[in-house]
Structure 1
């Protein structure tokens, strides 16, 4: 199976413990919830102390040497002068030293920095850099191997990730729009674009299904349902076309429309009617 990814997590924890300006390490994903194996990626976050408070440490990114969902995180990518915070380079240097490295991606996610490091032996670290103060507790299904000031001592309530009615409506709305796009692309004989739109619509259905089951992190859709070992939507297999031919695509689209029905109420019913007419047009045109 290859080297144990837990060794990468251990190296991250050890580095965080000896780095003064790192306050905490949060381990998520399968390792964080105690379900990891040799194939698991290391999904982690680190909390970096406030830039203004740690100005001296920022000038010396290594410090004295004696480690996600809503954050409110401060911007650690660019400082007031527009220059990159040198501690990001220190973090990158640290994680690439944990094992021989194949490639690294430095990605911006809003106000967050996301570092993805793939090691030559196949292990992978996905590390999000937070302002330490962004966390006021520990998210569900995560662990806190390093917590120097106790910010992660108390668990955060899972319901803070529950979608409200507006979000559920948005998921259903976008699912129907994507379904209509898939029908249009099928009519135009663009099978790969149709499949892309169908997949997008199905992803929204998974989110709606996870929310209906009351699962934590429903926005992750199929990932959440499978992690919880919950039942998938009944009939979901019929939404996957056997081929990219128009007849098979139409069957899959109609199956998905049927599964979306229970999640479609009130002011979305006229939208569903419009998209169903487009599906019917595709069936007549390609019959």
Structure 2
């Protein structure tokens, strides 16, 4: 399926942040070949927030890994800001955050955030300034000298996001970064991410199993089919004139337009068939 051009106000001239055309991925296993992805076509505009959602094993994380140049497609083409994925990785055009924060326990919060800058030879004064700005952005200025085991799970993920943004990437790749958090912390992190993505202007590709999370965060939600993973439907988020992504607040979660979009994504996951809805605001995985 070929997706329509993004209708998001973030669309801008120039190459797409991510362009995937006819991408297949086949894994060789001891029992034979496994087709993980088939015929994926997707274009993501600079500054756009796109979530990938679908059943377990549908290839969401595989597609993320291909964009990140952590694996190679079997067929098709993939580019990041007009470059091959490998070149985009070498140019630090994207940052990555995973479900586990992956912080180094022997380094302080500030030192964890500074690590990419150290690896790429940034001057110490520039590092200190950049780290201070990032910790302020994620609300952790008072925790710069703490160690990871002194932080909550949500705080650790904020450090991981700050580290992913250290090199000022134009694209942020996030693979279920809030999946291990409790619901209250998760909603707070979603609100923080809306604000951070608006402040940085980075495009975001976000993998999740949570329909409400995808709706709250995204400009568009890409619904994937069971394996072999294909794009089943792309659902634009129509949340009202006052619900531009940068302006979204917790109150949006109680609005009718939000529940309508949750229903639209849920029906897309079920192949367009109406499904019984649960309690409002309840996460469906």
Identify the structure with bigger relative contact order (alpha carbons < 8 Å, sequence gap 6+). Answer: 2
Which structure features the higher share of helix residues? Answer: 1
Output the TM-score relative to the length of structure 2: 0.28
Output the TM-score relative to the length of structure 1: 0.28
Which structure features the higher share of strand residues? Answer: 2
